[in-house]
């Protein structure tokens, strides 16, 4: 592929791509202009050894005409070169404008996508924080209920005293009474949470 491109010579062991050269090949007009100046110089130099004023005058006039013709050809070449460069710059500016528009659209799309993702992440984070707070509140309530239950059991146990031999029957009745009390307290706490 490098052989098909004259501006990217193949180097041994390296495959690099060069940017195309901006320098253009010399046109035929420049060569023609240089040839006119060479002919004018040759005429003047050829007329000098003759020593004749007529030949020197004719050679000088011919050199002056050829120099002006050469200048006109070069001026035409410069104008054409400027026009071509202006067209190249305009094409590059248009391509850059299109590229900029494409990149701006891609950036806007990326920004909106990332904004949506960030908003969803913040919403999810807030939902999770709310759940954690509710669960922590539930844990606190359960711990308080467990402490209250232990306190009730300890109070109930301290109030139970028996001197009779039927203490096992009394203990079972007391245990049933404590369970009923605890069930009623648990039912009240559930209704308060709902």
Q: Give the chain's largest Cα–Cα span.
A: 167
Nearest Cα neighbor of 17 from 37, 35, 1 is 1
Q: Which residues contact residue 136 at a Cβ distance below 8 angstroms, ignoring those fewer than 6 apart?
A: none
Question: How far apart are the C-alpha atoms of 116 and 149, rounded to whole Å?
Answer: 49
Q: What is the pTM of this model?
A: 0.43
Let me know: does 84 contact 65? Beta carbons within 8 Å. no
Predicted local confidence at residue 111, as pLDDT: 96
Average pLDDT value over all residues in the chain: 81
Q: Per-residue pLDDT tens for 91-135?
A: 999 999 999 999 999 999 999 999 999 999 999 999 999 999 999
Predicted local confidence at residue 28, as pLDDT: 84
């Amino acid at each position: 592929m490098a052989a098909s491109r004259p501006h990217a010579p193949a180097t041994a062991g390296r495959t690099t791509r060069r940017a195309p050269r901006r320098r253009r090949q010399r046109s035929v007009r420049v060569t023609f202009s240089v040839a006119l100046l060479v002919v004018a110089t040759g005429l003047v130099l050829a007329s000098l050894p003759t020593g004749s004023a007529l030949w020197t005058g004719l050679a000088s006039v011919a050199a002056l005409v050829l120099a002006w013709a050469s200048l006109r050809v070069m001026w035409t070449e410069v104008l054409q070169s400027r026009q071509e460069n202006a067209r190249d710059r305009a094409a590059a500016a248009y391509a850059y404008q299109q590229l900029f528009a494409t990149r701006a659209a891609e950036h806007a799309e990326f920004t909106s996508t990332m904004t949506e993702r960030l908003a969803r992440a913040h919403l999810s984070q807030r939902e999770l924080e709310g759940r954690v707070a509710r669960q922590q509140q539930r844990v606190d309530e359960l711990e308080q209920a467990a402490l209250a239950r232990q306190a009730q059991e300890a109070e109930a146990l301290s109030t139970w005293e028996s001197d009779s031999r039927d203490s096992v029957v009394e203990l079972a009745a007391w245990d049933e009474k404590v369970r009923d009390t605890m069930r009623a307290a648990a039912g009240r706490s559930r209704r308060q949470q709902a």
